[in-house]
Amino acid sequence: MTRAAVLGAGSWGTTFAKVLADAGCSVSLHARRPELVATITASRENADYLPGVRLPDAVRATGDAAEALDGADVVVLAVPSQTLRANLTDWAPLLPPDSSLLSLMKGVELGTTKRMSEVIREVTGAGADRVAALSGPNLAREIAEEQPSATVIACSDDDRAAALQAACHTRYFRPYTNPDLVGCELGGAVKNVIALACGVAAGLGFGDNTRASLITRGLAETARLGIALGADVTTFAGLAGLGDLVATCSSPLSRNRTFGEHLGQGMSVAEVEQITRQTAEGVKSCRSVLDLARAHGVDVPITEAVVRVCHEGESAAQMVREMMSREAKPE
């Protein structure tokens, strides 16, 4: 039986722990707060992040990272992207030597502009063949409710990708494999930024034409950046590109879209953060995505607009005016 450790007990980490258990794995779910560990153990439910969903008996909650990682074949990293380096610095000495390191995170590190797999390799010293990323249209609540969904596992090692694929394949969750780690990670990171823009548009009262335009042009700037970084452009037409982008930009379950909608309704970033409990990765990652694009000379106008609203005090209405008044260009 495959032993898996999931580090991070938010909504997606908890949901993926359930997926792994339903696929036949023995799962340790690591949570920082002792009270959350106690609640999950007693009630078989993560009421803070995934209320109403019973976790399988094969999921065991623990607050001890060493206990969670002991003997793990698969280590799943499911913490907010900007906290990965600090957390992983503590966990690295505990990692089993040949364990697969699977990232569920969708972000680009502030300051370094590194993708999550790059941070993992840098902190742990793991070879590229051990590091993988999972990305796709994976809204946690729907998957926890066992609604059919597909995803992509990206890894340079085909055999390891296939093993990870088998470890999380259930009757409701279908993973595909893809060797393009760069493209899959970028698709997951940039779509959060585009979803913020779609949320802003919804908050301003705009409809389907606006959202479709933002999704399409957002996909174009994601692909431009991906090509500059060596990604396979076809990745962006798949689950980790267009699939993830459509779900995140359209669903009320999307944290980034919902955050953007509040901004479009006139709230400040600080005000939205006060009323939301979960992390909207795009709010922080938009700056690192923009830094990454500028370092490679890539034009990302939607990302630039989101940065202005989230970090430079520009109003949502002004953002729209500036975007629509940009110089017209060929598609």
Question: Per-residue pLDDT for 42 more than 70?
Answer: yes
User: Closest Cα to residue 132, out of 77, 190, 87?
Assistant: 77
Question: pLDDT averaged over the chain?
Answer: 96
* Binding-site sequence positions for sn-glycerol 3-phosphate: 106, 136, 191, 244, 254-256
Share of the chain above pLDDT 70, in %: 99
Among all chains, which residue has been given the structure tokens 């390891």? Answer: 160
C-alpha of 57 from chain center: 26
pLDDT tens figures, 252-310: 999 999 999 999 999 999 999 988 876 788 999 999 999 999 999 999 999 999 999 99
pLDDT, average across residues 109-135: 98
pLDDT tens figures, 62-94: 999 999 999 999 999 999 999 999 999 999 999
pTM of the model: 0.95
Among all chains, which residue has been given the structure tokens 């792994």? Answer: 20
* Binding-site sequence positions for NAD(+): 8-13, 140, 255
Catalytic residue among 114, 191, 284, 329: 191
What pLDDT, on a 0 to 100 scale, did the predictor assign at position 329? 81
The kind and range of the H/E element at 119 are: helix 116-124
pLDDT, average across residues 20-39: 97
The kind and range of the H/E element at 178 are: strand 173-178
What pLDDT, on a 0 to 100 scale, did the predictor assign at position 327? 79
The verdict on whether 191 is a catalytic residue reads yes
Tokens of 79: 């913490």
Terminal alpha carbon distance of the chain = 51
CA distance linking residue 317 with residue 264, whole number of Å:
8
Question: Per-residue pLDDT for 112 more than 90?
Answer: yes
* CATH fold for domain 182-324: N-(1-d-carboxylethyl)-l-norvaline Dehydrogenase; domain 2 (1.10.1040)
Question: What letter does residue 130 receive in the DSSP assignment?
Answer: G
* Binding-site sequence positions for substrate: 106, 255-256
Confidence band of 176 (pLDDT split at 50, 70, 90): very high
For the chain, domain boundaries: 3-179, 182-324
What pLDDT, on a 0 to 100 scale, did the predictor assign at position 111? 96
pLDDT tens figures, 212-241: 999 999 999 999 999 999 999 999 999 999
Question: What letter does residue 77 receive in the DSSP assignment?
Answer: E
**7-21, 169-183, 190-204, 277-291: the lowest-pLDDT one:** 277-291
* Binding-site sequence positions: 8-13, 32-33, 49, 106, 136, 140, 191, 244, 254-256, 281
Q: Count of CB atoms within 10 A of residue 311's CB? A: 14
All residues at 6 or more sequence positions from 81 whose CB lies less than 8 Å from its CB, including other chains:
105, 106, 107, 108, 109, 116, 189, 281, 284, 285
What pLDDT, on a 0 to 100 scale, did the predictor assign at position 120? 98
Q: Count of CB atoms within 10 A of residue 232's CB? A: 16
What pLDDT, on a 0 to 100 scale, did the predictor assign at position 278? 67
Strands 100-103 and 131-135, by their bridges, are parallel
Q: 3-179 architecture in CATH?
A: 3-Layer(aba) Sandwich (3.40)
Exposed (0-12), middle (13-18) or buried (19+): which is 43, by Cβ within 10 Å?
Answer: exposed
